Amino acid sequence: MKNYPKISIITPSYNQGNYIEETILSIINQNYPNLEYIIIDGGSTDNSIEIIKKYKKYLSYWISEKDNGQSDAINKGIQRSTGDLFNWINSDDYLEKGALFEIARLYNDNIDCKLFIGKLKVIGESSESIQTNINVKLLKKGSIRNLPARQQSTFFSLNYIKKSGGLNNVLHYCMDAELIFRFLYSSKSNMIATTDKVLGCYRIQSESKGSTKIWDFVDELNIIYKNIAKKNNNIKAALFFDALIKDKMKEEKFILSTFDYNINKAIILLNYQICNWIDYYYLNKQFLIVKKYFSILDFSYLSLPDKYYYKKLFFKLFFK
């Protein structure tokens, strides 16, 4: 279908019977005419399988078997996927109405792009709206600062994902961030199209990894940052992030992908992530931590407006 690119959606799931039906309905009720929908269940023991079977006629493929975590489940789905575009929607998240038609429009208008990003809505356990992401406007201006890494509103070229090797199976928390970072490291990282429309919803709920494993997320991000610093021979920054990593066993197993790697873009991204931490801790008035992050910030990689802002903040903290 020329005007309707094939979109492959994967839902990895394990014991999410309270939410998975809402997830499934949010995808099949898009009524998108060229959808490939795959569910990879990790061997659920609740009512998830019963719910999946209820909608199996709408599925291109589904399976329930033990896996090695979320990344492994998604990679199984990627192997089965045949679309032009790809995303995964977790079994406690969902798509906004009209999201797939908007992505199809964005794809048709930007056929050479590899990454397609819309706004993200953050919701609570009862699907109440908490926050709507606005970072997409920054991205339109060519900035990678505050790039939204939530996969619910981010669609990839499936061909690009397969060529890059899919998700890093070692990661269990920041696989979406690493995937987007990897894209930004590449020589084609300017091939991004954006929309102001909300595409996906990320649910904050008491049993989710985002609520119960927050320090594991931080660990994986710090390991990614350490690897970037090491590859740029920035020993000071590498040692800094190494000191923040709590789970050393996880670090030993971690290998940062180097597909189509562009170190200059990677180190720019690293310095903007350091800026994000500076913003976070400054907002929370943890000024000693802010000073530590300033000790590894390289101002030369920032844009002129950002360089001016952070130098002004630097002198305010150190010379007031």
Residue 186: predicted pLDDT: 64
- Is 23 domain-assigned? yes
Residue 261: predicted pLDDT: 47
Q: Do 77 and 203 fall into the same domain?
A: yes
Domain count, the chain: 2
Q: Do 42 and 174 fall into the same domain?
A: yes
Tens place of pLDDT for every residue, the chain, 320 residues? 458 999 999 999 999 888 899 999 999 999 999 999 999 999 999 999 999 999 999 999 999 999 888 899 999 999 999 999 999 999 888 899 999 999 999 999 998 888 898 888 887 776 666 656 655 554 444 444 445 557 888 999 999 889 888 888 878 888 887 787 777 766 555 688 888 899 988 877 555 454 445 667 778 878 877 877 777 777 877 788 788 777 665 555 555 544 444 556 667 777 877 887 888 788 888 898 899 889 888 898 887 888 898 999 999 888 86
Q: Do 75 and 222 fall into the same domain?
A: no
Q: Do 239 and 173 fall into the same domain?
A: no
Q: Do 124 and 153 fall into the same domain?
A: yes
Q: 186, 209, 232 — which closes off a domain?
A: 209
Q: Do 50 and 64 fall into the same domain?
A: yes
Domain limits at 119?
Answer: 7-209
| DSSP string covering 273-301 | HHHHHHHHHHHTT-HHHHHHHHTT--GGG
Q: Do 112 and 200 fall into the same domain?
A: yes
Q: 209, 235, 262 — which closes off a domain?
A: 209
Residue 138: predicted pLDDT: 47
Residue 279: predicted pLDDT: 84
- Is 1 domain-assigned? no
- Is 88 domain-assigned? yes
- Is 50 domain-assigned? yes
Residue 55: predicted pLDDT: 97
Residue 190: predicted pLDDT: 61
Q: Do 183 and 218 fall into the same domain?
A: no
- Is 303 domain-assigned? yes
Residue 105: predicted pLDDT: 96
Residue 226: predicted pLDDT: 80
- Is 57 domain-assigned? yes
Q: Do 257 and 160 fall into the same domain?
A: no
Q: 175, 209, 243 — which closes off a domain?
A: 209
- Is 85 domain-assigned? yes
Q: Do 261 and 118 fall into the same domain?
A: no
Q: Do 194 and 218 fall into the same domain?
A: no
Residue 171: predicted pLDDT: 80
- Is 264 domain-assigned? yes
Q: Do 134 and 19 fall into the same domain?
A: yes
- What's the CATH number where 167 sits? 3.90.550.10
